[in-house]
Structure 1
Amino acid sequence: MSSMPTQSTYITSHKNYSNEKSKVMPQVVINTRPVERAAPLTQHLQAAGLTVVEMPMLTLRPRPTTDLDIALMHQWLAGEYKALVIVSPTAAASGLVAWQSLEHEKRKYKTKDGNDKYAQSLLEGLSLPSPLIAVGEATAAEFSQVRIDTTSYQILQPETANNEGMLAMPEIDSLQAGDKLLIWRGLGGRRLLVDTLQTRGVHIDSIAWYERTMPIDALTQYQQWQQAFLTHSTASDIALLKQPKPIVVISSAAAFEHWSNIVNDSQSTTVDEEQDSDAVADIEQRLSLTLKDFTYVVLGERLANMVAAQQLNYWRVEDLSPDTILSAIHSKI
């Protein structure tokens, strides 16, 4: 865990500054979660009195389903895996669509001569061929929208909604050499679960239902926010403005890479514009923020190490629940 981050102070010169009172701005939190996952955190932080800016650093884009993906699904339905691990709500939703489609085809084929039997089979729900492990509540909730027969196996969740929490589950901890595990996921992401199990000799198959890309308007959105933030921070009617560093919530290596690129690109653009300008602008018009002008809330050891390597201030959390993130922020404000 890093030490308490220092606060940046932006000072605007003013001829009557000694007669003005200090004004403390509210804490700004930048939520970089994908659009589909941002709302619960934003609402929770806003309810706690924080100013939240939604600035997605990831767009979740569906990937085409391949023949190999379908083959792995057939193997899972045939009971060849000790468990199915699902690492996100998006993976759950995408995999569920494929599962329903395959089950629909199978049942229709088996009951093609008896429509009543086919209708009855649909009412019985989807049958789990192995334990299903959902990383968190939002992921598990995707399966509440359909009827699933849990007579033989249950939908399980770890106590802590992350890779470490899943590794501690008996269903995962008991896996040994030769056992097979299937994972529904997005392209990329943390590898702690996979790497740990492969070291034990467990065979891992995975289906990447989606990929993470940078939103096309991310740079423009950041630059617009930065301009408004700096303009507000250096407003001439404020003599002394004590401005805490904006806090950026980062949940993945891909999101941090995109954020870093955007901040650095925006800084380079500002420098180029200054050099091309004939007139020297006021200081507030020339300023641009750097990565060190922010404080970070990051998920897990891998991401914490990435942020620490750039000598940035951060708070590490072990899960992305709104309560956990708010507690981390309040522990340092």
Structure 2
Amino acid sequence: MLFINTRPIDRAQPLTECLRQSGFDVVDLPLLELTPRPYNNILQQLYLQLLSTQIIVVVSPTAVQVGMQYLQQSGLSLLQIQHIQWIAVGKKTAQRLSDYGVESHVPMVETSEGMLNLPLFNTLKDLKKIAFWRGEGGRQFMMQQCQDRHIDVLNFVLYDRACPPETHQRFLDFVARVDQFEPPYWSCISSEASWNNWLVLTRDHQEIVSACHYLVLGERLYQLLRHDKNATQACLNSTKILNLEPETILQTIVQLQRKL
């Protein structure tokens, strides 16, 4: 059984270890690399506006790390913004916030839709301003939904997201030995950016795209893959998952294998 681990290098190890202990061959093929952007005057002005902000949405452990570093650089302290409610996209992000003594709301489904469904959005009175600590290109849907509700959005772009340069060579090495593995190959897709990078990477190897069964995080991404399947008439097998916990991914694969 082959699993293609597309998670960023700094987040891939727990999943890789979990699956290898269960008898999987695992190929690490990270589709996103997160690189902090330099602190600048635009970020300085955004940080100062946190004094009148009700919610901060933090979309990844990297966003916590960079966001807190730049908060200190801005001259603000957590004490000055203790009025703010924090939302973490998932448990790993919430844990990184707790390292700074910050409690956060965590959705059942680790997606933009999951965060928007938190009771906080309906119970917090006079919600007028919300901040997003995020990477370039991420959480566009959620920010648009907030703007549609006439909430002022502070857009903290803290890092860039790109396919790591070494992934192309890793993929070529994988292609050279892919015949050693029997389909289906399993993989997890956690964002639209990851999916787009995968399509670029595999442009000349559609047989690999079709041989994979994709575990897709959340309904919107699942529908995106279904749209691409219908638009291209490609063989894309996908299953929706609600979080990225290694045990969730393993149990989903085991259940699907029983049906094959």
TM range (shorter): 0.7 to 0.9
Aligned to 2:15: 41
Report deviation, 1:97: 0.4
Structure 1 unaligned blocks of 5 or more: 1-26, 108-123, 234-242, 268-287
Q: Report the residue type matching 1:128 in the other structure.
A: Q
Give the conservation status (yes or no) of the 8 Å contact 1:84–1:181.
yes
Report deviation, 1:98: 1.0
Report deviation, 1:175: 5.6
Q: Report the residue type matching 2:42 in the other structure.
A: L
- C-alpha distance in 2 between matches for 1:139 and 1:174: 23
Which of 55, 69, 77 matches 1:83?
55
Aligned-CA RMSD value: 2.4
Size of the alignment, in residue pairs? 251
- C-alpha distance in 1 between matches for 2:217 and 2:37: 25
Aligned to 1:92: 64
Consecutive aligned runs of 4 or more in structure 1 exceeding 4 Å deviation: 124-127, 175-178
- C-alpha distance in 1 between matches for 2:99 and 2:241: 30
Aligned to 2:252: 328
Change (3 A) 1:289 1:326: same
Aligned to 1:291: 209
- C-alpha distance in 1 between matches for 2:221 and 2:108: 21
Q: Report the residue type matching 2:4 in the other structure.
A: I
Report deviation, 1:137: 2.0
Aligned to 2:44: 70
Q: Report the residue type matching 1:102 in the other structure.
A: S
Which of 201, 223, 246 matches 1:305?
223
Deviations along 1:161-189, one digit per CA (max 9) or x if unpaired, are 33233222232234688711011011112
Give the conservation status (yes or no) of the 8 Å contact 1:57–1:255.
yes
Deviations along 1:113-148, one digit per CA (max 9) or x if unpaired, are xxxxxxxxxxx97752311222222112223444x4
Structure 2 unaligned blocks of 5 or more: none
User: Equivalent residues in 2 for 1:1-333 (5 A)?
Assistant: 27-76=1-50, 78=51, 80-103=52-75, 128-146=82-100, 148=101, 154-174=103-123, 179-230=128-179, 232=180, 243-265=182-204, 267=205, 289-308=207-226, 309-310=228-229, 311=234, 312-333=236-257
Q: TM-score when scaled to structure 1?
A: 0.69
Report deviation, 1:59: 1.0
Give the conservation status (yes or no) of the 8 Å contact 1:182–1:204.
yes
Percentage of pairs with the same residue: 31
Helix, strand or coil at the partner of 2:256: coil
Q: Report the residue type matching 2:92 in the other structure.
A: A
- C-alpha distance in 2 between matches for 1:196 and 1:177: 17
- C-alpha distance in 2 between matches for 1:216 and 1:52: 20
Helix, strand or coil at the partner of 1:129: coil
Change (3 A) 1:290 1:136: closer
Q: TM-score when scaled to structure 2?
A: 0.86
